[in-house]
Amino acid sequence: MIAKLLKRRARTGEDGSIVVEGARKATGGKGKARIVMTMAVFFGIFSTISGRLVYLGFQTPDLSGGPQSRITASRPDIVDRNGEVLATDIKTASLFAEPRRIVDADEAIEKLSTVLPEIDYEQTYHKLKSGAGFVWLQRQLTPKQQADIMQLGIPGFGFRTEKRRFYPSGETSSYIVGLTNVDNQGISGMEKYIDEQGLSDLQASGLAVAKDLKPVKLSIDLRVQHVVRDEIAAGLERYRALGAGAVVLNVKTGEVVAMASVPDFDPNNPYNAQEKDRLNRMSAGLYEMGSTFKSFTSAMALDSGKATMNSRFDASHPIRVGHQAIHDFHGKNRVLSLPEVFLYSSNIGSAREAELVGIEGHREFLHRLGILERMQTELPEVARPTEPKVWKQVNSFTIAFGHGVSTTPLQAAVGCAALMNGGYLMNPTFLVRTQQEAMAIAKKVVTEKTVEGMRYLYSLNAEKGSARNARVPGYRVGGKTGTAEKVINGRYSKDLNFNTFVAAFPMDDPQYLVFTIADAPHPEKPGMTDVAAANAGVIAGNIIRRSAAMLGVKPDFSHENGATLVSYE
């Protein structure tokens, strides 16, 4: 039957070949069908994939499975004024897990704990059993930890290269440079300031590329910074104090050349950075400054035009206001000239100066010098000063000798700098600034004559008074001490002091100012005193002695320390 059918359909071609038409037609039909089926299958596959992609595009990402796995963003180097690196990025490895690939969570944790014994078992177990696609286990491992974990061969564990911050100077400049968190974001100090200037926006947009980030140059001189930190750390131990600090200011530009506070912390291992005593006392601590404030009181009296160097103030007996009485620590019990009020640090004489100016004039002068305003500077950790809501006569009297208002040591230093640099108040800066740039934003707050008088008083006090411990041969240092009873739980302590010292040099044309503090110091040896001259003053003198040459101040031994004591008869 089949043979007859083929015979009927066959014909002879032109070349003599036999063509079976039925077979050809059958084969052609099947080929077309296969092509159509194949196209349909591929169309179905691509349609499914496209539909899935469109669906996922409209979904909200599920972040519950663990932290983001993005690479930490770059940060610019931070350098001192001479280009020495204070902070830089380094690469480090961080450990992650893919819980969906973990076979035995208990075994994985048991192995991991041999390398990371501090790991939290319960927390890690929940992460590994979460079924998520990605979870962080430990950030910023050491190279040895990474190598040891790799040798464990745990399935589902992996590493990502991240950036972390490294601080070559360690504790030396910790409060100024600040800290970053585990995601390399600034959380304190200049690190936080840099983020606030736009770096965080660059990081969020993915534009914070290391090669495009220029180093941030600070006004800090690392050499002087080391001296300051070394001296206050030694003073903390020597005087068994709760804290100590110091700042070195360029009075011509307002640049902070060095500033430190102890106790401090190592930013490379900041495990104790949040402890209660870890406070940048220089800018974030509020204190009553004691007799250092008499710098402002004497300057106020001179600048008001109501007093001169020849003015006299009755300090022969205490001043009584209601139930309160104002006494002198070592009173002369007589009428004092204005220079003698400063030299003998007379509380009574200072109160008389404030009385001469008046309550409103007193308050206005301190605000004019920025002492009672929140300081404007790059460092985020700045405290707001406090003052009485209503100034009464007794407030003006006590504030005249440094009790009744609280401010930061850095603000007090800035105010004193204005009394030394020609009368110009300029906000302190932690960035490099020229004298021309500083003068463009400076505010004239006192007259040249007032500045001349204050330079004389500082020099006089170093020659004859309480600032003698800060004298350094050849550098003509002047200054003022401040010993204030420490305020504890709202009451003045009879046993603990907060001591301050301000020094400027060279006094014929001051270039730098040093302000030091000693929080609750004790006498260095039995029988010795705990007043500011014996601790804060000594620290200031040591800082000047070790750093003056680094600051470019040339010694001059052609004449004595400073002022000639004038008789005011």
**Active-site residue among 291, 346, 350, 547?**
291
pLDDT at 29: 59
pLDDT at 198: 77
From the DSSP assignment, how many helices (H) and strands (E) are in the chain?
A: 18, 20
Closest by alpha carbon to 295, among 487, 455, 421? Answer: 455
Rounded CA-CA distance 431/450 in Å is: 29
Which one-letter DSSP state was computed for residue 65?
T
Rounded CA-CA distance 119/35 in Å is: 60
Residue for token pair 């009574």: 348
SS3 sequence of 170-230: HHHHHHHHCEECCCCCEEEHHHHHHHHHHHHHHHHHCCCCHHHCCCEEECCCHHHHHHHHH
pLDDT at 52: 59
Rounded CA-CA distance 410/415 in Å is: 9
Residues 6+ apart with CB under 8 A from 172: 222, 225, 226, 229, 260
Rounded CA-CA distance 522/530 in Å is: 5
Q: Which phi-psi region, left, alpha or beta, contains residue 196 (left: φ > 0; alpha: ψ -120 to 50)? A: alpha
Residues 6+ apart with CB under 8 A from 249: 255, 256, 257, 413, 414, 417, 428, 512, 513, 514, 515
Closest by alpha carbon to 77, among 189, 203, 165? Answer: 165
pLDDT at 10: 45
Residues 6+ apart with CB under 8 A from 301: 307, 311, 338, 353, 354, 356, 357
Each residue's pLDDT expressed in tens, for the chain with a length of 569 residues: 444 433 444 444 444 444 444 444 445 556 677 776 777 666 666 666 666 555 555 544 443 444 444 456 689 999 999 999 999 998 888 899 999 888 888 888 998 999 999 889 899 988 998 888 899 998 888 889 989 999 998 888 989 888 889 999 999 999 999 999 988 899 999 999 999 987 766 655 555 566 668 999 999 999 999 999 999 999 999 999 999 999 999 999 999 999 999 999 999 999 899 998 899 999 999 999 999 999 999 999 999 999 999 999 999 999 998 888 999 988 899 999 999 999 999 999 999 999 999 999 999 999 999 999 999 999 999 999 999 999 999 999 999 999 999 999 999 999 999 999 999 999 999 999 999 999 999 999 999 999 999 999 999 999 999 999 899 999 999 999 999 999 888 888 988 999 999 999 999 999 999 999 999 999 998 888 899 999 999 999 999 999 999 999 999 887 654 444 444 33
- The two beta strands, 424-425 and 443-444, are antiparallel
pLDDT at 130: 87
Q: Could you confirm whether 459 is annotated as catalytic? A: no
Contact 208, 202 (CB under 8 A): yes
pLDDT at 13: 47
Q: How far apart are the first and last CA of the chain?
A: 153
Q: Which helix (H) or strand (E) holds 314?
A: strand 312-314
Contact 180, 165 (CB under 8 A): yes
Q: What are phi and psi of 69, to 5 degrees?
A: -100, 15
Contact 315, 439 (CB under 8 A): no
pLDDT at 8: 44
Contact 484, 218 (CB under 8 A): no
Which amino acid, one-letter code, is at 447?
T
Rounded CA-CA distance 263/418 in Å is: 29
Q: What is the CA radius of gyration of the chain?
A: 37
